[in-house]
Amino acid sequence: MKGRNAIAVAIVLASCGSPADRAREVARVRAHLERVEGELRASAPATLTAAQAEQRVLAIEHLRQYIDAERYPINDLSEETTPIFVDGHGARCAVAALVEASGHYALVERIARTHNLAHVRELADDPDLQAWLTANGVTLAEAARIQPGYPNWHKSTWQPTASVVFSVDGGVVPGAGAEAVYAPGIRVGARRVTEPDGACDHCVHYSTALVAEYRRGVTRNAGSTNYLGVLVQHDLSEDDDIQYYVSGGPLASVDGDAEPGTGLGAQVGLGLSFRHPVGLLGELTASALGNSRGATVLGGFSFGVVW
């Protein structure tokens, strides 16, 4: 038994940042549950039947055992503080533990599968949970009071990033009309990555990058120009391996010739990048630049390699 406990403690510590972080979290949850335990013991409804009163006392004893065991869920599922019925390591929240202690294993498994991050009040229409609450003399409000939220211990770091890109665009270029523009280029910048502070089974991962971009745009009838831009790229997905992101920022064309000319504007994009085994990116892009000769409006596709 001691060996199993040691393994469980090792898993907990590896999954929730530093031992100090975990100790503070355990103390926080324990303090909350002990307050609720005292409230439950002091406020039994007068309308309970003898059977309900007996089951309520038993449920409170199960809560005491759960508090003392100190095996509380770890949030590696959501960046925000959230309830967790059963975490990725099998730890039950207090409500799940009480339901399971009374023998309703299937109910715990079903809620964990279908509403694992739900607040108890969101399960008010669940007939099986409502039946359990009634039989055990516990109100929905009391069950909601028992249920704590769990924060995600995460850290943010800045990392260098670079890309080699090639874009193919079509649109209107001053002095040339409808044109295709081919533009190889490079991007260099820094990426702020937010991720769990430790190992996890379902890592929450976000990043935002600030990059400077240079592309050499070439057209058939309007010569070539230098595109200089600054892009902010923000991830929309939580996966470290595959990222969907949006990007945008100011854009300038710098050209000593009249066509297509020097101009100022902006660009936006919607992208997808694969980080493993090789960093690849693909983007749908749109841009607009204005100068004294008119407006350059382009839309197209970029692809490349990212580090």
21-30, 50-59, 179-188, 194-203: least confidently modelled range: 194-203
Domain 154-306 has CATH 2.30.29.30: no
> What length does the chain have?
307
Please give the pLDDT value at position 65.
96
Tokens representing 121 are 């009040």
Please give the pLDDT value at position 183.
92
Tokens representing 56 are 């309520």
DSSP string for 167-220 = EEEEEEETTTEEEEEEEEEEEEEEEEEEEESS--SS---EEEEEEEEEEEEEES
What are the angstrom distances between the C-alpha of 244 and each of 25, 30, 33, 54, 307?
A: 32, 39, 40, 54, 16
Residues sharing a CB contact under 8 Å with residue 300, sequence separation 6 or more, in sequence order: 167, 168, 169, 170, 171, 181, 284, 285
Confidence of residue 292 (pLDDT cuts 50, 70, 90): confident
Domain residue extents for the chain = 2-146, 154-306
Three-class secondary structure of residue 263 per DSSP: strand
25 pLDDT higher than 90: no
How confident is the model over 87-116, as a mean pLDDT?
A: 94
Q: What is the pTM of this model?
A: 0.52
140-144, 240-244, 268-272: least confidently modelled range: 240-244
d(CA 139, CA 42): 14
What are the angstrom distances between the C-alpha of 199 and each of 85, 158, 203?
A: 20, 19, 8
Confidence of residue 128 (pLDDT cuts 50, 70, 90): very high
Candidates 156, 206, 196; CA nearest to 22 is: 196
Q: How many CB atoms lie within 10 A of CB 35?
A: 11
How confident is the model over 157-181, as a mean pLDDT?
A: 87
